[in-house]
Chain A
Amino acid sequence: MSDYKAVVIGGSAGSFSLMLKMLAGIKSDFKLPIILCMHRLKHVRSGIAESMQIKSKLPIIEPMDKQRIEPGAVYLAPANYHMFIELDGTVSLSTEEMNFFCRPSIDYTLSSCAAAYREKLVGIILTGANADGAKGLKDIADKKGYTIVQDPATAEVDTMPKSALAVMTPNEVLKPEGIIAFLNNL
């Protein structure tokens, strides 16, 4: 039985198709909540959760404010909101200023998860075109959570994984297949 309480994943450019592939590969009895923060194009604000649901065996939820995080579901940060996880395991949303020109901000979601789950968290950074997420992943590592960065050589855009590697040393650098296998072994 896994000691972890949650998995949080951040990604930007190139991560949508990758996420579809990962969701398709995650086993249907996956026990932990997966908290997902992905940058979206401004003109594509809807339809992402629906596309993911087609591939995913786990339910895809765009959470309401104060909704409780439950095991075995995927929580996707809603378009145009920042998503925080509170210490009591509920979601808080915010419309405050963008971070790296992005709302949702990956840093904000990852840092709040680091505070809420501490060493019982797995944090993963995927392909992406800016540095959002690097600080958040470092916060997870600082709280002794388990950190994974997608191998930049396999990333469609390697800025985001490289930015993370520049500020911290993750537990593992993995190809997408390796990340899927890691999650299925939790």
Chain B
Amino acid sequence: MEFKAFLDEFKNQTGFDFCDYSDESLNRRLIKIQKETSLDYEGILSRVAVDEKFKQKIVEDITVNTTELFRDPDVWVGLYKKLYCSIPRNVTTAFWHIGCSIGLEVYSNLILLNELNMLDSVRVMATDLNSSVLETAKAGVYVYNKQFEDNFNKVFMELGKNVRFDKYFDRDKDTLKVKPFLTAVPKFKQQNLVSEDAPFPFKTDFVFLRNVMIYFNNKLQVKIMKMVYDKMYDGAYLILGKQERLPLNMSGRFEAIANLYRKNALNL
């Protein structure tokens, strides 16, 4: 069975649609899955049909769930200085993290908002295709990684603020736990962005879509961008990954400000 035929059949069987993912990296991950499970495509499909846990595992292995605290520190410094300092406190500001994985980006953002005493005036929704990573995100419990603390310190050094890592995290040897006053804020929800038509109930002021669309081909990027665009208020901000840009023919809908994209009002 060919790679493309497998993806079609996997979609029909499970509702998870990877047909418009970037070929090269997806193909390589599927080869890895075949090796690790010692199954060919037919074998994977027959087991997926009867074994829910196995199905989840395959979805988890196909999708990329790597993430880090304050990935690209300068992006966070820019957000804080250029945008967050001027957010009004008397209205609710809505944030949507798409493809939030295990939630480290969500907590990075909440830490900055807390430094501005804004936790009472924000609504934070975080979604991912993959239900198992969302359990980790909700719990806010991670394996300690020095890179996280380095990024954290870099952000606050550049902001000229003296903030200790243990203000937000409890560390016990290799376990790192986000403090409960942060884990209580976001709502994590499983969501299949590719196959659901109206995935998000309310409009947002900030959308984080970082290093998610790099896994999609151009056709799917455009489809997702249009849907996200419709869920943004005029003037809302979109934050992409450091090496991402808007898909062709979407750039007229946003004003680019460094790594940030501000939604233009639609001119009909």
Check if A and B associate: yes
What count of chain A residues pass the 8 Å CB interface test? 26
Q: What would be 29 A-B contacts, judged by CB atoms less than 8 Å apart?
A: A62-B243, A64-B243, A64-B244, A64-B245, A65-B243, A65-B244, A66-B247, A78-B243, A81-B214, A84-B25, A86-B23, A87-B23, A92-B22, A92-B24, A92-B25, A92-B214, A92-B215, A93-B214, A94-B214, A95-B64, A95-B66, A95-B214, A95-B241, A108-B25, A111-B28, A112-B24, A112-B28, A115-B24, A116-B24
Of B23, B147, B215, B221, which is within 8 A of A94 by CB? B215
B-contacting residues, A86-123, CB 8 Å: 86-87, 92-97, 108, 111-112, 115-116
Whether A82 sits at the interface, judged by CB under 8 Å, is yes
- Shortest Cβ gap from A67 to chain B (Å): 8
- Shortest Cβ gap from A16 to chain B (Å): 20
Q: Contact residues of A with B, CB < 8 Å?
A: 42-43, 62-66, 78, 80-82, 84-87, 92-97, 108, 111-112, 115-116
Complex CA gap A62/B25 in Å reads 19
Contact (A63, B243) CB under 8 Å given A84-B24, A94-B215, A108-B28 = yes
Complex CA gap A140/B98 in Å reads 37
Whether B29 sits at the interface, judged by CB under 8 Å, is yes
Chain A hits for B66, CB < 8 A: 95-97
What count of chain B residues pass the 8 Å CB interface test? 24
3 A-B pairs with the lowest CB-CB distances in the bound complex, closest first: A84-B24, A92-B22, A96-B64
Complex CA gap A64/B218 in Å reads 13
Can you name the residue of chain A whose Cβ is closest to the Cβ of B244? A65
Q: Contact residues of B with A, CB < 8 Å?
A: 22-25, 28-29, 64, 66-67, 71, 147, 150, 211, 213-215, 218, 221, 241-245, 247
Chain B hits for A94, CB < 8 A: 25, 64, 214-215
- Shortest Cβ gap from B23 to chain A (Å): 6
Complex CA gap A93/B147 in Å reads 21
Chain B hits for A81, CB < 8 A: 214, 243
- Shortest Cβ gap from A22 to chain B (Å): 24
Chain B hits for A108, CB < 8 A: 25, 28
- Shortest Cβ gap from A138 to chain B (Å): 15
19 extra interface residue pairs, beta carbon distance < 8 Å, beyond A84-B24, A108-B25: A62-B243, A63-B243, A64-B243, A64-B244, A65-B214, A65-B241, A65-B243, A66-B218, A66-B221, A66-B245, A85-B24, A86-B22, A87-B24, A93-B211, A93-B243, A94-B25, A96-B66, A112-B24, A115-B24
